[in-house]
Structure 1
Amino acid sequence: MRVIEGAGEWVAPADGTSSRYEEHLRVPDMSLGTYRIPAGGTDGQNPHTEDEVYVVTAGRARLVTPGGEAPVGPGSVVFVPAGEEHRFVDVTEDLAVLVFFGPAEVVRGQAAT
């Protein structure tokens, strides 16, 4: 067992960037992190090679994909399949999202460890 402190909590990006991802856990079959976007910030992510589950813990925005869009807020849970374009837009409140990747996210072309 491992208790993961701080996962899903809102913390403003210290360097003034418009978004920040902090990984909390990595095992071969999954990884977990918190993605944070301040109100008015932009989401610059690209599609991932892994399936994702988003659990919104704070804030409000819309999640847009080629197939549609949905408002998200605390308690929203959204599945995004591998390879699907997606982006958070209209971030009206500081957004904190738990992100589960399965299998573990491949980082910068490197295999998950």
Structure 2
Amino acid sequence: MEIIKGAGAWAPPQAGDWTEHLRTPDLSVGTYCIPAGGADGQSPHTEDEIYVVTAGRARIVTPGAAAEVGPGAVIFVPAGEEHRFTDVTEDLALLVVFGPAYGSRGA
């Protein structure tokens, strides 16, 4: 067992905006933060992904749908699907889980 301290907590974004807290071959867990008014510059990932909104408000947009999200929202994005957080009205903090681990499938 391991307690993952700080996962999902708001912190001013650093280079890359993503902080990985835990990595095993089958999954990785981290935090992704976007400040209010900020832009989400991510590209589609090669792994399935779950976001849990821990703070803030925004809109998530994919080619097939869009939705307003806030604290408690849980979002599943399948591998390869384009997605972006837009209209970030409050500092957005996301607990992110990748399966398998982020980047492990290559491009």
TM-score between both structures, scaled by the size of structure 1: 0.89
Shift of 1:53: 0.4
Gaps of 5+ in 2: none
Quote the Cα distance in structure 2 between the aligned partners of 1:63 and 1:40: 14
Structure 1 outlier segments of 4+, above 6 Å:
none
Give a deviation string over 1:4-31, Cα, whole Å, max 9, x none.
11111111125xx6x6110000000000
TM-score between both structures, scaled by the size of structure 2: 0.94
SS of residue paired to 1:35 = strand
| Correspondences of 1:23-102 after superposition (within 5 Å) | 23-102=20-99
RMSD: 1.5
Identity of aligned residues (%): 70
Give a deviation string over 1:44-98, Cα, whole Å, max 9, x none.
0000000000000000000000011011100000100000000000000000001
User: What residue is the counterpart of 1:6 in the other structure?
Assistant: 6
